[in-house]
Structure 1
Amino acid sequence: MSNIAIFGFGRIGRTCLRVALQDNLFTPVAIADIKDEANLAALFQVDTNYGRFPELTTGTTGHLTIGDRDIPYFNSAKEIPDWGAMNVDLVIDCTGRATTRAGAQLHLDRGAKRVLVSAPSKTLDDCDAVLLKGINLDTFDPDNHKIISMASCTTNALAAVVKVIIENFGIRFGLFSTVHAYTNSQSLTDQPMKDRRDSWAAAENIIPSSSGAAKALRFIWKDLQITGKAYRVPVRTGSIAELNLLTEKPCTVEEVNDAFRKAASEEPLKGVMGVLEDEWASCRIVADPHTSIVDLPLTAKQGELLSVAAWYDNEWGYATRLAEVAAYLASK
C-alpha cells in the first residue's frame, strides 16, 4: 500500500481528501498545515460548496479523525514534517507555493520519494514533468520524474479540448477566455492588493485576471500557438472556458461535436472529459468530477473560426484528477 501525505489543507487539499475517501483512492498517512486541528476539522466536516461530509470529523492535538480513520496531523508553520520517517511515497503539495523547483525540492529533502504539485510550475525547469490524466499521464517515468506538476484547473479543462481538436483537425492558432469563480487570492472587500484589479470586492465585481494555462499547455504541446486570459466572476465555484481556434483541416460543428462525443466515451479521456447535450447554467457542473465538460450546443463556426466552450468545477473537478493522479503515481 502506497503512503501519501497531503501538505496544505486549504480549498484543494480538503476537497482532494473528500474525493480520495469517497472514491476509496487512499487514506493519507499524514496531513500538514499551519492552522489548528479543530478549525481544519470543522472546515472539512462542513463545506460551503459541497455540504456536510457524511462521517464525523474531529481535530485534536496532532490528530484529525474522520469516521474511524485517525490521521496524524503536523503543524508545518516552522518546518516540513519528516516524510522519510513516515516512509512517504508521495506528497501532494496543495499550498500553491511549490511552483519553483526549490520549493518542491524541500519535500524530497525531508525524505519524500515524489512530489505532486497542485499548481502550475513557473517554468518547465521547475518540475520534472507536467502530467495530466487523459492527456499524457502514460509518459510518467518513475526514475526521472520526482517533481510533477498537475498545472491548473483551467489547463486541465483546456487540455482535453486541445487534445481532441489537434488529433482530429489540427490547430493553427487559438485564443481563450475563461470565466472563473473567485478564489482566495482575491479580496472580500475593497482594499489595496498586489494585483491592482484584485483590490475590488470579489463577490461584487467582474475582475480581469491573467491565466497561466497557455504556458502550461505549451509544456505539453511545445508548438501550440494559443494564448488567453481570465475573468473572475461572483460565483463560489464553477467556471467555463471558451476557446476560439483556426484549425488546420476544414470542419463543421457537427463533426467537431461528434469528435467530442467519441473522445468522452472512450479511453483515455473517458471520465476526464464529459459532454453536455442540453442547455445548462454553471450550477449544473458543481461537484461534477470531470475536469472538462464540453457544452455541445455552444460549439459554433463562423468562416474558418471555430468556437468551443468547456465547463469545469475549478475545485471538485481538479481535486478529483489530483486524487486520481496521486494514487496512480504512488502506486508506481
Structure 2
Amino acid sequence: MATIALHGFGRIGRQFLRVGLKNNLFVPVSISDIRDEPTLAALFAVDTNYGRWHEPVSGSEGQLTIGDRTIPYINSSKDIPDWAALGVDLVIDCTGRATTRAGAQAHLDKGAKYVLISAPSKSLADCDAVLLKGINLDTFDPANHHIVSMGSCTTNALAAVVKVIRENFGIQYGLFSTVHSYTNTQSLTDQPMKDRRDSWAAAENIIPSSSGAARTLQFIWSDLKITGKAYRVPTRTGSIAELNLITEKDCTVQEVNDAFRKAAAEGPLKGVMDTLEDEWSSARIVADPHSSIIDLPLTAKEGNLLSVAAWYDNEWGFANRLAEVAAFMAERI
C-alpha cells in the first residue's frame, strides 16, 4: 500500500484520521499543521461533535501519539513538508487551501506523487479529476489523475441522489437548497466578514450562503442542469438538502422511493447511500457514515415536479468517504 501523509489537522483532517484508524484503513506516515502538538492532540482526543477517542492521545515535540501509534508531526506554518524525503506517495490535503492547481501542485513539487483534496476545486482545470465513491471512483487513472478533488459534503450528498434519478427517470433540470450546519468560515459573534451575510453570529442566525455543489456536479455530468444555494443554521453538525427536479420520465413517489431503497441495498451506492423509513430530525444522522441519507417520507411529487430530501452529517459522512477514497487510491498507485 502506498504511503499516505495528512496535511491539515482541522475539522475534516481530524475526523479523516479517526475514520482511518478506527476502520484500519491506514496510518499516515506524518501529520502536518500550523498549531502546536499538545493542542492538536487534545482536539483529537476530545471532539465536541463525536466524543472521546477510545485510546490515550498525547502530543510532544515532533510527534502525536495515539494509542500505541507514534506519528511524526511537522509544523507547516512556513512551508509544505519535503514529501520526497518522507517517502510520501499520496498527500491528503485538508487545509482547504489546495483548491487551485497551483495550490495542489505545490505538493507534487515537494515530491508527492498524488494529492487528494478534501474540498471542491475552483474549476475543472484546477484538478485532474473529481472522484466520488459510488459515483465514478472506478474511473481513477493513476497515469493521469495526480490531483484529485473529492468535492464537498453537499456534492457527495447530492451526487447520490442525482445518480439514482438520472439512471431511473432522467433529469431535465433542477434546483436544490441545503440547510447546513455552521462552519469555521463563520463568526461566533457579529463582526465584519469578507462575505457580508457571514458577519452575523453563526449560532444565532439563519444565514444564506452560496454552494459550489452544482458546479462540481457538472464536473461529473457536464450536461446536468442544476443550481442551488445553502442556508447555514445554528446546529453544530448535520445537514439536509432538498433537491427539486423536473424528470424526463413520469414517475410516482413509490417508484422513486423503491429506486432509492434498491440503490442503498446493492450496487456501487451501498454503504454510501442509506434510506430512512420513519420521521426523524437532524439528531438521527449525527455520526452517520453515509454520504446521503434519503428521507423517504419527504419524497413528494406534483405534476412533473419531483422533490427529494437527503440528510448528511457534513463532517462525519464526508470524512468517511475521504478516508475510503484515500485507501482506494493508495492501493492502486
Which residue of structure 2 lines up, in the alignment, with residue 18 of structure 1? 18
Letter in 2 for 1:205: N
Which residue of structure 2 lines up, in the alignment, with residue 214 of structure 1? 214
Structure 2 SS opposite 1:120: coil
> How big is each residue's C-alpha offset from its partner over 1:227-260, in whole Å with a ceiling of 9 and x where there is no partner?
0000000000000000000000000000000000
| Displacement after TM superposition at 1:2 (Å) | 2.1
Runs of 4+ in 1 over 2 A off after TM superposition: none
TM-score by length of 1: 1.00
**2:64 counterpart of 1:64:** yes
RMSD of equivalent CA atoms: 0.4
**2:137 counterpart of 1:137:** yes
Structure 2 SS opposite 1:255: helix
Which residue of structure 2 lines up, in the alignment, with residue 111 of structure 1? 111
| Displacement after TM superposition at 1:114 (Å) | 0.2
**2:155 counterpart of 1:155:** yes
Structure 1 SS opposite 2:108: helix
Which residue of structure 2 lines up, in the alignment, with residue 98 of structure 1? 98
Distance 1:79 1:227 in 2: 37
Structure 2 SS opposite 1:284: helix
Letter in 2 for 1:293: I
Letter in 2 for 1:138: D
Letter in 2 for 1:67: G
Structure 2 SS opposite 1:319: helix
Which residue of structure 2 lines up, in the alignment, with residue 53 of structure 1? 53
**2:181 counterpart of 1:181:** yes
Which residue of structure 2 lines up, in the alignment, with residue 233 of structure 1? 233
| Displacement after TM superposition at 1:161 (Å) | 0.1
| Displacement after TM superposition at 1:150 (Å) | 0.2
> How big is each residue's C-alpha offset from its partner over 1:76-121, in whole Å with a ceiling of 9 and x where there is no partner?
0011111111211110000001000000001001111100000000
Letter in 2 for 1:161: V
Letter in 1 for 2:239: S
Distance 1:154 1:254 in 2: 25
Distance 1:24 1:287 in 2: 18
| Displacement after TM superposition at 1:267 (Å) | 1.8
Structure 1 SS opposite 2:259: helix
Letter in 1 for 2:8: G
Structure 1 gap ranges (5+): none
Distance 1:254 1:267 in 2: 20
Distance 1:317 1:251 in 2: 29
Distance 2:311 2:97 in 1: 26
Distance 2:23 2:284 in 1: 21
Letter in 2 for 1:168: N
| Displacement after TM superposition at 1:330 (Å) | 1.1
Distance 1:319 1:91 in 2: 15
Q: Percent same amino acid at aligned positions?
A: 79
| Displacement after TM superposition at 1:269 (Å) | 0.2
Letter in 1 for 2:186: Q
Letter in 1 for 2:21: L
- In the alignment of these two chains, the number of paired residues is 332
Which residue of structure 2 lines up, in the alignment, with residue 87 of structure 1? 87
Distance 2:87 2:135 in 1: 30
Structure 2 SS opposite 1:297: helix
Which residue of structure 2 lines up, in the alignment, with residue 191 of structure 1? 191
Distance 2:75 2:90 in 1: 18
Q: How does 1:275-294 map to 2 (within 5 A)?
A: 275-294=275-294
TM-score by length of 2: 0.99
